[in-house]
Structure 1
Amino acid sequence: MASTVLAASGGVKQVICISWGTKYGAPFINRLYAMVARNITPPFTFTCFTDNRIGLHPEILCEDLPPLDVEMPVNTRGIWPKARLWGEKLGSLKGPVLFLDLDLVIVSSLDDFFEIGDPDDVVMAKNQTTPLERLGQTSLFRFPVGKLLPLQQKFRADPQGVADTFRYEQRFVSRNAPGGVTFFPRRWVLHFRQDCRWPFPLNYVLAPRLPKDARVVIFPRGLLPQHAIDGKYGEKGLPTSPLQHILGVFDATKRRKKAPFRYLRHYIRPTKWVADHWRE
């Protein structure tokens, strides 16, 4: 028997993502689709809202980026172009949709994300970086098409002001979603840096772990799955042996202005389980 959430979308699990510009593109979208397909019970759809359809897997449903004629905020960390998805309509989709960022890693079944709550709920992954704040994470969240229209209207009226007030789009959604937000179980969606990598000095001898109850692992703030696979910390990092990295603490140019202890914490060993899951 289908859940009430699935009943609202005709029994189909609707997964969506968004892509614009050149930072990610087809390799990330195709990889995400493959992970979804391996970890979901049909029927399901995977829809990408994008400005470039070249090279995408034929099973991916493509829609144009929803129009949002505003000047996007500058000097803010929030991913505000996601606001394009908050309109009254969303392509041909109706009912609840599960949004996924392009740079997350799916490690187990997504089915239960369509079972929790009611069709009209906005359900977010819990943000672990601010444990004292009731803050959701928009790397993965479920919402019914059209429910967030009031947020889009507020954002359209003053994009820079909204961004300056809330800094991140996830805080704006958490605090302003009509009817409030609820959360998926905390351990379903894990933060790679916080939940998987080991603290110093264990990070030098143990590869990042994958907790058994994880469903999805997110990679926010510049540390991407390929970095974890390679064993480097971010775009500017270089794969090095543990000893080479430790000795780098005495070289300010290698530390790149990081304080010594912060530099030592920013080391990860190559992470095989990320490569096992993050693939087509």
Structure 2
Amino acid sequence: MTAQIVCIKWGTKYPALYVNRLYGMCARNMDRPFRFVCFTDDAEGIRPEVDCLPLPPLDANVLPSPGQWGKSRLWAAELGDLEGPFLFVDLDCVVIGPLGDFFDRGSPQDVILARDPAKPLHRIGQTSVYRAPVGKLASIRAAFLADPLGTQRRFRYEQRYVTRMAPGGVRFWPRDWVVHYRRRCRRTFPLNYALPPKPPKDARIVIFAGHLNPPQAIEGRYRAGGPATPREHLAATFDRGRRYVSPRRHLLAYMAPAPWIEEAWRE
């Protein structure tokens, strides 16, 4: 069976180049035939190797929140012409290692998530990279649509909802397969000012969160528009107008440019 990789793009936050680069990274790291599908409301500029399918309806009012509840579109009983398991990858991920094992692990009926790096001692999933069979999450989509605002208030993040409510429970990828760039790749202070970030040896996919995306990792910025050089970053520690966290957190936050992200994040 042809492996299926899925991403979703709506609105204007991520331009087509994110889809194109994600496809390129996946193609370089797949060991088997695969189909790459992007569900989107705007296919302009997306490379022809990508199968662009219409964005499924959300069918719910959602609150502004850190959770990406728009991804609940992919929980539907039917998902375009897809059948069986698919691997979902967020647009801002960077693929740096082989992907074949993501399709071989466990049963085709399993829902497999990354672990939430913010709560390593809790059994909470992270939906930046997950695998599920089409329709497996249809029941929790129905429950969400029955009370979308109440569900959001209770769970806040859609990944908590999937973790707690997925039929049959969830499994997790090995810890080092999917790594959070800021939490797992950044050097500890003071080495973060002298050495570039470094991924774990077995890392396959690097995920990003918040204001930090691959372009900032390449430039060595903690967030878009933030200070770029070590000197600029240190100077901003004492300037409340240029930092957005406490002085201590700002001091620890610096990350040098990551050439390996630049090498991987391309078409």
Structure 1 length normalisation: TM-score? 0.93
Distance in 2 between the 1:254 and 1:65 partners? 38
Please name the residue that 1:210 is paired with: 199
Secondary structure of the structure 2 residue equivalent to 1:132: coil
Aligned-pair identity (%): 51
Distance in 1 between the 2:265 and 2:173 partners? 22
Aligned match for 1:249, one of 204, 228, 237: 237
Distance in 1 between the 2:38 and 2:236 partners? 42
Report the CA distance between 1:199 and its aligned residue: 2.0
Distance in 2 between the 1:141 and 1:78 partners? 15
* Equivalent residue letter for 2:41: D
Secondary structure of the structure 2 residue equivalent to 1:15: strand
1:264 aligns with 2:254: no
Unaligned runs of 5+ in 2: none
Aligned match for 1:86, one of 47, 56, 75: 75
Secondary structure of the structure 2 residue equivalent to 1:133: coil
Secondary structure of the structure 2 residue equivalent to 1:45: strand
Please name the residue that 1:118 is paired with: 107
Report the CA distance between 1:127 and its aligned residue: 1.4
Please name the residue that 1:5 is paired with: none
Structure 2 length normalisation: TM-score? 0.97
Q: How many pairs are equivalent?
A: 267
Please name the residue that 1:60 is paired with: 50
What is the CA deviation profile of residues 120-149 of structure 1, one whole-angstrom value per residue up to 9, with x for unaligned ones? 110111112101210111000000000000
Report the CA distance between 1:96 and its aligned residue: 0.3
Is the Cα–Cα contact under 8 Å of residues 123 and 184 in structure 1 kept in the other structure? yes
**CA RMSD, Structure 1 to Structure 2 (Å):** 1.1
Q: Please identify runs of 4+ aligned residues in structure 1 that moved more than 3 A.
A: none
Distance in 2 between the 1:159 and 1:73 partners? 9
Report the CA distance between 1:267 and its aligned residue: 1.0
Please name the residue that 1:164 is paired with: 153
Report the CA distance between 1:70 and its aligned residue: 1.4
Secondary structure of the structure 2 residue equivalent to 1:213: coil
Report the CA distance between 1:68 and its aligned residue: 2.6
Please name the residue that 1:31 is paired with: 21
Aligned match for 1:22, one of 3, 7, 12: 12
Distance in 2 between the 1:20 and 1:244 partners? 35
* Equivalent residue letter for 1:146: G
Please name the residue that 1:174 is paired with: 163
Report the CA distance between 1:86 and its aligned residue: 0.5
Range with greater deviation from structure 2 (103-112 or 153-162): 153-162
1:239 aligns with 2:228: yes
Report the CA distance between 1:192 and its aligned residue: 0.4
Distance in 1 between the 2:243 and 2:62 partners? 33
* Equivalent residue letter for 1:251: D
What is the CA deviation profile of residues 54-100 of structure 1, one whole-angstrom value per residue up to 9, with x for unaligned ones? 011101001101123211222x1100000001011000000000000
